[in-house]
């Protein structure tokens, strides 16, 4: 299992459009083979910051996400809305270990 | 719904003990009323860094976690093992919105 947290900074005037595009990306990503979660979160203290929580069964499934049409569309759509470069952090899962709990 | 990501830096010599104490905390926390997830993750590129992903149904349930015996025990146990102060970030949930998907 692999979980990537992606930290995203959005220009204030594009926050609403970013949310719309990201929910569309969520709706498609959760249908991918090997996807376990794809949560879209907004920071409580700063609505221009977001965290994506992307959990996949394998490295291969996580890598395949970046070749999907919906990811490439999302990436192109939001490109000019970023206030700074996104930052992804890869993680091993220590708990829960059972696939059915994801 | 509220999700807190907690960023944790551990002194290298205490990583194994930290993992053991944190899995114990996970096992108890997922039994709390209002808890939806309590994932324990280790950074892929730096095994001394950890992320906890703590999802609760309400602010009250998230606050109640900090009064539980297992949280207080974990906090006291790991106190001297921290390489720097923990950093928690609170989030709103944008997707998925359905409770059953947590």
Tens digit of each residue's pLDDT (9 = 90 or more) over B14-54:
999 999 999 999 999 999 999 999 999 999 999 999 999 99
- Residue ranges per structural domain of chain A: 10-95
Quote the ipTM score: 0.96
Tens digit of each residue's pLDDT (9 = 90 or more) over A33-52:
999 999 999 999 999 999 99
| Gap between the Cα atoms of B28 and B93, Å rounded | 23
pTM for the model: 0.97
For the domain with range B2-93, which CATH number is right: 3.30.230.10, 3.40.718.10, 3.40.47.10, 3.30.70.100? 3.30.70.100
- Asked if the C-beta of A5 comes within 8 angstroms of chain B's C-beta atoms, the answer is yes
- Asked if the C-beta of A19 comes within 8 angstroms of chain B's C-beta atoms, the answer is yes
**What CATH architecture is A10-95?**
2-Layer Sandwich (3.30)
Q: Cβ–Cβ of B91/A44 closer than 8 Å?
A: yes
Structural contact between residues B5 and B53, judged by C-beta atoms closer than 8 angstroms? yes
Please, which residues 65-94 of chain B have a Cβ atom closer than 8 Å to chain A? 89-94
């Amino acid at each position: 299992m692999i979980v990537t947290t992606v930290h995203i900074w959005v220009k204030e005037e594009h926050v609403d459009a970013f949310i719309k595009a990201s929910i569309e990306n969520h709706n498609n990503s959760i249908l991918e083979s090997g996807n376990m979660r794809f949560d879209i979160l907004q920071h409580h203290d700063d609505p221009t910051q977001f965290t994506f929580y992307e959990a996949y069964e394998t490295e291969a499934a996580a890598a395949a996400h970046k070749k999907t049409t919906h990811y490439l569309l999302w990436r192109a759509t939001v490109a000019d809305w970023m206030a700074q470069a996104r930052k992804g952090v890869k993680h091993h899962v220590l708990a829960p270990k059972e696939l059915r709990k994801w």
